[in-house]
Amino acid sequence: MTKRKPVFNCRTSQMSDEMYEHVEKRIKKTPDKSFRAYAFELIERDMNEKNEKKEMQNLYNLLQEMQNQMKEEFSYLHKKIDQKSFSPDNQDIHFQEKTDLKEGDLITDEVTGSIDEEYDMDF
């Protein structure tokens, strides 16, 4: 532990009237009603704010890292989609229509194709 100074001096003559009145009101609200208790409260609040800022910075850095990862993944997906030549407007996709298909009943009298299998009709 470092050697501590026995007393922290504070000259109120260097405070503005507004500042002095504010400190006086705050001292009256502290449990000990002393400048020491008020100063400790301020120091503790300052330390907590510093820790909160560190935590917020860590969260911000984590979010930035996640955002960069998402950008990389979306870029990769975009490249994959471009390689497939996919267009939601169907401008780049051309389908060939088959002319030998007929609409209508599934079973018709007209037989198309052939059966190359030999059937053994002996049951």
In a domain? residue 58: yes
- Overall residue count recorded for the chain in this entry: 123
Asked if residue 7 has pLDDT above 60, the reply is no
Look up the domain containing 60 and give its range: 15-83
**Domain membership flag for residue 27:** yes
Whether 114 is in a domain gets the answer no
| Domain-embedded: residue 70 | yes
Whole-angstrom distance, CA of residue 103 vs CA of residue 112: 14
23 vs 69, more confident: 69
Domain count, the chain: 1
Q: Is residue 6 part of a domain?
A: no
Q: Is the residue at 36 inside a domain? A: yes
Q: What's this model's pTM, rounded to 2 decimal places?
A: 0.42
Residue 4 lies in a domain: no
In a domain, 29, yes or no: yes
Question: Pick the residue with more confidence: 108 or 54?
Answer: 54
Query: Strand runs (DSSP E) across the chain, as ranges?
Result: none
What mean pLDDT do residues 35-64 have?
91
- pLDDT grade for 101, boundaries at 50, 70 and 90: low
